[in-house]
Amino acid sequence: MSVVTQNEMLMPQLSDSMEEGTILAWLVAAGAEVAAGDDLLEIETDKANMTVQAEGSGILEILAAEGSTLAVGTPIARFGDGTAAPPPAAAEDRGEPSRPARTSAAIDRDAVGRATPLARRIARIHAVDLSTLTGSGIGGRITKADVGAAAGIAPPPSPERRAVENPPPSPAAEAAKVDGVKGETEIAEPTRLQALVARRMAEAKATVPHFQVETEVRMDSAIALRSQLKEVAGEGPVPSFNDFIVRAAALALREHPKANGSYRDGAFELHQRVNVGIAVAADEALVVPTIVDADRKSLGEIARESRRLAERVRSGAVTPPELAGGTFTVSNLGMFGMTAIYPVVNVPQAAILGVGMTRQVLLRGAGGEIEDAALMTLTLSCDHRILYGADAARFLAEIRRRLESPLLVAF
């Protein structure tokens, strides 16, 4: 088949810090006709796995194979206007019974549990019933190759491929599975995303001179105000304490521009817009969607936006623009009962705020009396190249002031 090339699609930059991406799967077969905006491929970035849409229309020519890791800007596909290969014969023409289309609601739960996240996504796109498949992965896991074969967009996994995806234990792994003081040890390889996150965190710790400042915040007034908001919220979302923190931080960032900046190439970058990232725990990694212009949004708007973004992260539907442009990050582990967290700076940002749980304690009041109090620990991890100790202390104190006088946050 000859194809007249009309346009190329390059490896996109799906996050501010992305330098390269790994092609996990093509969701459309080579030679098929695609339209701009169709789901085309799955790419692994430094932040998450992304479904990327076609940027052009025409006959698809794939330039980069699955598993390829390529720099941003490298050609990965072309869209031509030549004569495309004939579509696969219908099931009736091949003498095979047709498979009824299934929606995700009809997929068997056990099969869903045995399928990888990427396999589930391809199954939804191509209406493949996972309950009819036998997995070729480790322990019978249903892989993208299994779904692709069932959908007719990829050949079935060969015995050689099955051996690669489900290899016999290596001598090192066998040696690790010894009964001793530690008991039996199982070796688990990280996913590409987990390995990439580990590498970036190690680089951040090695290249960024971190330091932390910490403070205790009395949350009694914020708790009382939230109770009042809950009574009048109606059907709208009640702002969480994390929403209070995001807004307090956003307002404080306007007054402390270095905390809203970056250190890059030996210079300070002071960003005009305040875009607060919120760390959300996904299946395999920590994903940080961004609330853009958080300082200009009301508490209610932040509550709605944060819930929408968290749901999109957990469902795998978050898009590259929703992960881009962050100037500051809030990471909250209070819901897991952690009293404090010391996060690693999300480079190239200047700082990240770690949030612990709100806990009830006894304090001595101004008059010497013992009183109940609700305390929360905030820890600010900073890049010492742009934020100094006094700068960080003043910024964190401003966040504390607004949280302890929550009307400054609510209105």
Report DSSP letters for 16-61, one per residue: TT--EEEEEEESS-TT-EE-TTSEEEEEE-SS-EEEEE-SS-EEEE
* Prediction pTM value: 0.66
Phi/psi region, residue 152 (left: phi>0; alpha: psi -120 to 50; beta: rest), is left
> What local confidence, expressed as pLDDT, does residue 337 receive?
93
> What local confidence, expressed as pLDDT, does residue 198 receive?
75
> What local confidence, expressed as pLDDT, does residue 241 receive?
96
Residue 189 sits at the vertex; the CA angle it makes with 381 and 195, to the nearest 5 degrees, is 35
Amino acid identity at 211: F
DSSP H or E stretch at residue 247? helix 241-255
Name the token pair of 33.
Answer: 């006709």
Name the token pair of 63.
Answer: 């330039």
Residuewise pLDDT in 10s, the chain (411 residues): 333 345 889 999 887 667 888 898 899 999 999 998 899 998 887 667 788 899 889 999 999 998 888 888 999 999 987 654 444 444 344 444 443 443 444 345 556 656 776 777 778 778 888 888 888 775 677 887 888 888 877 766 656 555 544 555 555 555 555 455 767 777 777 766 667 667 777 777 778 899 999 999 999 999 999 999 988 877 778 999 999 999 999 999 999 999 999 998 889 999 999 999 999 987 767 889 999 999 999 999 999 999 999 999 888 788 888 988 999 999 999 999 999 999 999 888 999 999 999 999 998 888 889 999 999 999 999 999 999 999 999 999 999 999 999 999 988
Active site residue 384: yes
Instruction: Please give the domain boundaries of the chain with CATH numbers for all domains.
Output: 5-80 (2.40.50.100), 104-169 (no CATH), 199-410 (3.30.559.10)
> What local confidence, expressed as pLDDT, does residue 338 receive?
95
| C-alpha to C-alpha distances, 200 to 111, 216, 345, 380, nearest whole angstrom | 34, 30, 11, 20
Strand-strand pairing, 276-278 and 267-270:
unpaired
